[in-house]
Amino acid sequence: MTNNSDNNRERKAVALVSGGLDSMLAVRLIQEQGIHVEGINFFTGFCVEGHTHAIRKKDRDRPKRNNALWVAEQLGIKLHIIDISEDYKDIVINPKHGYGANLNPCLDCKGFMVHEALKWMQKHDFDFLITGEVMGQRPMSQRKDTMPVVSKESGAGDLLLRPLCARLLPETKPEQEGWVDRDQLLDISGRNRKPQMALAKKYGFTEYAQPAGGCCFLTDANYSSKLADLWQARGEKTYEIDDIVMLKVGRHLRPKPSFKLIIAREEGETNFLKGYRKKYISLNTISHSGPIALIDGETDSDDLELAARLVARFSSGRESEFVNVEIRQKNGESKNIDVVPFRADEIPQDWYV
């Protein structure tokens, strides 16, 4: 039972803010009902948010911003960005509900994020949670039969309100208690974006991010195949944050199961990979201009020569008789060798990850 003073106090909601239009609209709908809203944005390690743009020099002039921060500023709310990348590993490695089209564990992911947001809510004395979910919009986590799974498995239960499709779902506590008026909530469903765009127009949101396929690298087929290759090569499904950052950078070639080469494709990537020379054996061409490459895995001297020949292939000396390559150990010790660059037709296609 709640007493009168409790009934009269300002209610507070925490919103999962991805940076996309739907969570932006969900927040505004709830703000309009006089609720104080703050946002949470989770860093999983797989967030797209312009990482490639951040590294590649040619993309540097493109406008780049963190959409979640931008959205928070437009809405006038605080945004708490929380690093969940360590605990998130278990979601990626052992998803109870399996993967989507690629290595995307969307249903487990949503349940985990709502669970983490619930913990934050309880710690900071907020009253309920909101998300920008729309029934039927996503094939795994936003279906009529899976949305209750998220509510239940996250532990949020009836404290989880989805303002954009609330009228299609059972009443939640914020509605039952009169904190929010259910009649002012919406009943949007399906993949058609017109209702959201009309609502954006009503609220004067003329600019918003429209990520294709979500904001997570795990929904990307190329990225997922690189992660699958990593797991296969290691013989176990594990990763560190550096591993998954590296999957976003450079050209990856695996000549043998025991190691792969990460070869920079341009100057920005070269500079980025240079920052990892204390963690990986690195190669770079001395006699000719060329990219830096890192070795991920275990190598013997024959492997290093093979790696050097590959790096030479991607240098300006690719047609030369010999290319001089510096091989630098993690401790900074280095030696130089002359190698014959691979010819293009000597590199098997299945080396490319």
Partner 1 sequence: MSEQTLDARNLLCPLPVIKTQDRVENMKPGECLKIICTDHGAINDIPAWSRIYGHEILSIDEQEYEIVIKLIVGDK
Write out the residues near partner 1 by the rule CB under 8 A.
41, 43, 47, 49-51, 53-55, 60, 64-66, 68-70, 72-73, 77-83, 245, 271-272, 275-276
The DSSP annotation for 324-338 comes to: EEEEE-TTS-EEEEE
- Which letter, b or e, does each residue of 292-307 get, where b requires 16 or more Cβ atoms within 10 Å of its Cβ? bbbbbbebeeebbbbb
Q: Spell out the residues 6+ positions from residue 293 whose beta carbon is closer than 8 angstroms to its own.
A: 250, 261, 262, 263, 264, 273, 282, 283, 284, 307, 310, 311, 314
Min CB(283)–partner 1 separation in Å: 19
Min CB(323)–partner 1 separation in Å: 26
Residue closer to partner 1 (CB basis): 205 or 342: 205
Residue closer to partner 1 (CB basis): 50 or 155: 50
Residue closer to partner 1 (CB basis): 68 or 310: 68
Min CB(189)–partner 1 separation in Å: 31
Min CB(158)–partner 1 separation in Å: 30
How far lies 346's CA from each of 69, 341, 343, 352, 353, in Å? 48, 10, 5, 13, 16
Min CB(53)–partner 1 separation in Å: 7
Strand partners, 252: 262
Min CB(120)–partner 1 separation in Å: 14
Q: Spell out the residues 6+ positions from residue 277 whose beta carbon is closer than 8 angstroms to its own.
A: 294, 328, 330
Residue 65 has a CB neighbour count (10 Å cut-off) of 12
Residue closer to partner 1 (CB basis): 69 or 340: 69
Residue closer to partner 1 (CB basis): 175 or 296: 296
Percent composition of the chain: helix, strand, coil (DSSP 3-state, to 5): 40, 20, 40
Residue closer to partner 1 (CB basis): 70 or 322: 70
Min CB(65)–partner 1 separation in Å: 5
Min CB(70)–partner 1 separation in Å: 6
Q: How many CA atoms lie within 13 A of 326 on its CB side?
A: 17
Tokens of 136: 């039927």
Q: Spell out the residues 6+ positions from residue 301 whose beta carbon is closer than 8 angstroms to its own.
A: none
Distance (Å, rounded) from C-alpha 163 to C-alpha 156?
A: 15
Residue closer to partner 1 (CB basis): 79 or 161: 79
Residue closer to partner 1 (CB basis): 38 or 108: 38
Contacts 24+ apart (CB under 8 A), 2-9: 2/177
